Amino acid sequence: MDMEKQKEKSERARREEAVLEFWNKNNIFQKSEGKKASLGEFIFYDGPPFATGLPHYGHILAGTIKDAIPRYKTMRGFRVRRRWGWDCHGLPLENQIEEELNIKTKKDIEILGVGRFNKAARERVLRYVADWKRIVPRMGRFVDMERDYKTMDTSYTESVWWAFKTLFDRKLIYEGFKAMQLCPRCGTTLSNFEVSQGYKDVTDLAITVKFELLDPIGTGGAGDAQVSASDGAGPRTYLLAWTTTPWTLPGNMALAVAAGASYVLVQIGDERFILARDRLRTLEGVYTIVTEFLGSELAGKRYRPVFDYFVNESFVNKENAWKIYTADFVTMAEGTGIVHIAPAFGEDDLALAQANAIPIIHHVGMDGAMKPFVHELAGMQAKPKDDPTRIDVEVLKLLAQKNFLFKKEKIIHSYPHCWRCETPLLNYAASSWFVKVTDFRDKLVAENEKILWVPEGVKEGRFGNWLRNARDWAISRSRFWGAPIPVWRGKNGSVVAIGSIAELKERVRKSGNRYLVMRHGEAESNTKDILSALADTPHSLTEKGREQVRAAAEKLKKEKVDLVFVSPFVRTRQTAEIVMQVLQLHDNAIKLDARLQEWNTGEWNGRPIERFKEEFPKTIIRFEKTPKGGENYAEVKKRVGAFIYDIESQYEGKSILIVTHEAPALLLFAAAQGLDPEQSIAMQGGRSSIQQAEVRNLDFTAFPHNEEYELDLHRPYIDELPLFDEEGQPLKRVSDVFDCWFESGSMPFASNHYPFEHTDVFEPKRGILRPARGFPADFISESMDQTRGWFYSLLVLSVALFGRAPYRSVITNGLILGEDGRKMSKRLKNYPDPLELVASYGADALRYYLLSSPVIRGEELVFSEKHVDEISKKLIGRLDNVRAFYALYAPASEASLRDDSPHILDRWILARLRELSADITEAMESYELDKATRPIALFIDDLSTWYVRRSRERFKSNDSSEKHLALGTTRFVLRELSKLLAPFMPFFAEELFIAVKETRDPESVHLASWPTFQKGSGDAKAVEHMAAARTVVSKALEARARASLKIRQPLSRLFLKKVLPDPALLPLILDEVNVKEVGVDETIAEDVMLVTDITSGLREEGVARGFIRFVQELRKKHNLHPSDPINLVVQADQEGKELLERFSETIRQTVHASAISFGEAAEAVVEVDGHSFSISIVRSP
């Protein structure tokens, strides 16, 4: 797309934006959600995207699918709630923050501080929200983005905790030490489905290593050749082991062989080697087989480690190290039949080690670096991203120096990489928290059988295979920005899982303090209705205020107040003094604290409150906007929050009265409850003030909070909160956070804060008379890669928690590739910018292009801007021309809708409309969007190129009944078609509907009901007969073309081989082919035969038609309405004049000329078959 074109905004785009404005102004989406739903609720779950970048074609595709189905279901009579959500946690965002903060390693984050890192993540996680809120609706999507949920919200995390605790209590959560894939750069292990997203074909080093045998094999008896140990007296004997991960060799603790396989001792030169007989072909050159034996005879034999870092060290189970073991996983498919075992770096290796008490040594840290004791390699990365084989080469060199290298080679194989940072992963034995998926794997498979998948092959294929081979799910990550794993350990080894904030508070040590908050009595500033925001302003209590305080103090006698904390203002000190007198407290019981002082309104101090409220009318503004020279509510909340936490930590078992002002008092309650600004406003049922001298109880328990004193369960706040077990012993939280897939898989219940609230909206439990609410989803949709992501995590958690699948129907779309067939890339510039594309062709064209493409069925789509352009012009543009043509001829009184016209064209187009509606409805009920959309293009072609073109003269007809039949039918077809288009092309559907709707119709097509037609008894025949007529026309026009005869040239006769199925088709054929007669002749060779002889009369008629066509073009240039009369002046020679006079009446009526005169005319000249005409036209008065 050239730069000039990018800057332009097409008329189509501007019209779509006008429709969008209409929707917003008239709350059409809100009305569609609130309209009567006779069929009840249709449940839709919307997978949350990240807002760390702008929407791309993948988002637009998924969003269009998610929009089309709910729009359709709404029109069908369902209520479809569409609530947006944001995915806020995980490695994608962390990687961005690392890049922005120039952080290279996980250790750098720890040096920076978890608090600073997570604060940066929180500030940036929603940086593009405003853009999304602009772009998503512009793409035509109806979705509630104002009541959005965020996976980082405390309420969401609490529900995630509940899910974890529920599974923990059901013994479906456990901590295990397993071999997992580790990203050394990110410093965390990944789940199986994360790993599956990052495989790449790479070239690696594979080496065959010589392990020197120390123990003899065999007895030396008759027929049994003894294999001697390498004792220096004879040739040395080596075991040959093949590995593709040389970097793991320093961690070698064992070798494995197949017990029942045959192994051979071969001699090459002065050295002997052991390998499997079936792998002899890997040897090169001459060798001699010395003897043969079973692998079981090697079991228990010792060998010399190729790296001796640990030979002289003491460690657990050392006696089992550097021995040969038998194992079932040893195959003869590759290598030597002897497997190198590094228990810390392989699943099979670890399993063998755990079964045989083989030591497990990590010579590589979780940062991917070799540990210091690996002297020659210390500090080097095991698999560096920039040069993955660097350390393998160094290992190879060391082995060669020691004569332990037998062979090296290069191999190409598929290797896992981090799905976010593309660093090669390490198979690494580590501790993690797991969901015990294997315990209910069969249930997952059974529930999957109940789900409708589109395409259907996903059920048994990609998704089904994944389920059948599902492993336990590692859900913990050694990272920072995520929902914290709610597990705490005691010093005695106890493990405590917490499933709610209430449970958390139960573990917090209580001070035993009781807090009472009191506002001062009426002061002079109150009577003057002015702001008094400075401590040295002498606004004392009024007499009324003193009486208010005395009355309140009398009620406080029963509270046994120990301490009084007071704002240093005159009115608050006077209030406290009266209270102390009444309660007879000692002077040392009162303590001034500046953190309790009045809200500093800066330059507004001393000015009228009403004027201030004009500038700061809403409470939320007071949180966000700061008075000049003063502070905002957020700053007040921070200081009063710091106050209450200090007091809580300093005193125990005290009854404490806090005397302050209205705003600080309310914000103290907000801080004590950990409320954000919106929650603060809604606090205590919306009570916005505390009355003069009013006293309220403040229930306070310390909780994890951020710098704004908002309840925040993120690190580091959750880790800083001291918790205790039942014996009062301190607990320490495990430092891990959740895999973000666990969070997104919790979306159905966590977005509703289940089970803590909103059970009227979401309740998966059901009974005989109590159906479930909000569960399961009737429909979800995401891309194919989510079969191992969101689709999987949703299913696992819902089956584990609720016993059934969380969704009934799924559409899985494929991947959109760039126009060059490669992955879309900003660097390659192989795709048009989505917003620029929409500015040129409109969103409807893009939507239809995507929905009608194979990508809807999980296949790849090579993006084509050309095809979007074609849809904009040939489909939407063509239908828009039909709309414009109708509007041109529709009478001011409007044509009545007609669906019962007897005219053959009307009967045919109505039959086609009913056929289209049935096709779309059937496909949509099966969630086959491509099948639903493709027939639309065919129908629009029929409507435009056949029905309207063949009905043009009817539109212009002087026969009012004929004209009204054509217009009424067209209006009916356009109105019903607009409804059928609404899910797919919502903008143009709206334009079309508004153009043809009746006054009794709803204001928007998206508030209308889906068309329900009863197929007419003659529909099939009407369609079949018209198809036959069009075939005749097509073949006749081909014959015209072969004879080089223009369509405007009338011909005498057309012969058909077969009789027409309906005589009413005859006028259509006569007019379309431009012949005078149609006859039947069964003897002709072809299906049709044109008589191509042209008489002088026919030729003159052809000239007249050419003349008429040219005059009509002139009318268009003059922007004349079809009903506008003209005066036509023609200059021609005598022959031309006489010719036109013979057809004058036809010409006059056709071009709507009041008069035709001959004289000088110089506006335009036209040549028609040797005749020259100069023409001028003017509009008649």
State the binding site for substrate: 519-526, 571
CA dist., res. 330 & res. 624, Å (int):
66
Place of tokens 């019903």: 976
- Provide the residue type at 748 as one letter: P
Please, which residues bridge with residue 515 across strands? 656, 698
List the catalytic residue out of 212, 447, 577, 598.
598
Is residue 1131 a contact partner of residue 1159, using CB atoms and an 8 Å limit? yes
Measured CA to CA, the distance from residue 685 to residue 55 in angstroms comes to: 39
In sequence order, what are the residues at sequence separation of 6 or more whose Cβ sits closer than 8 angstroms to the Cβ of residue 1179? 1118, 1120, 1124, 1125, 1126, 1127
Report the C-alpha gap between 883 and 944 in whole angstroms: 10
CA distance 1083 to 562: 119
Is the CA virtual torsion 935, 938, 940, 946 positive or negative? Answer: negative
- For residue 906, give the amino acid letter: D
**What does the block give as tokens for 619?**
């409470």
714 noted as active-site residue: no
Strands across the sheet containing 487-490: 495-497, 487-490, 730-733, 723-724
Cα torsion 874, 876, 877, 882: sign: positive
Residue 413 is among the residues annotated as catalytic for this protein: no
Amino acid at 728: G
Beta pairing partners, 432? 176
786/783 Cα distance (integer angstroms): 6
Cα separation, 138 vs 90, whole angstroms: 28
User: Residue 213 corresponds to which amino acid?
Assistant: L
Binding-site annotation, residues: 519-526, 571, 826
Cis preceding linkage at 455, omega within 30: yes
Return the SS3 of 924: helix
Q: Which amino acid is at 1016?
A: G
Return the DSSP state at 127: T
Tokens read off for 280: 């002899």
Residues in contact with 394: Cβ distance below 8 Å, sequence separation at least 6, in sequence order: 376, 377, 380
* DSSP letter, residue 811: E
Among 258, 396, 394, residue whose Cα is nearest residue 332: 258
Strand 405-416 vs strand 452-454: parallel, antiparallel, or unpaired? unpaired
Phi, psi dihedral angles at 1176 (to 5 degrees):
-135, 140
AA identity, residue 289: I
Q: How far apart are the first and last CA of the chain?
A: 47
For tokens 């036809």, what's the residue? Answer: 1146
Burial 26-43 (b: 16+ CB within 10 A, else e): eebbeebbebebeeebbb
Tokens of 288: 């001699």
Q: What is the DSSP secondary-structure string of 23-83?
A: HHHTTHHHHHHHS--TT-B--B--PPPP-SS---HHHHHHHHHHHHHHHHHHHHT-B---E
Rg of the Cα trace of the chain?
41
Helix (H) or strand (E) holding 200: strand 199-213
The residue from 89, 363, 520, 714 that is catalytic is 520
418: left (phi over 0), alpha (psi -120 to 50) or beta: beta
In this structure, are residues 369 and 380 in contact, taking their beta carbons and an 8 Å threshold?
yes
Q: Catalytic positions, please?
A: 520, 598
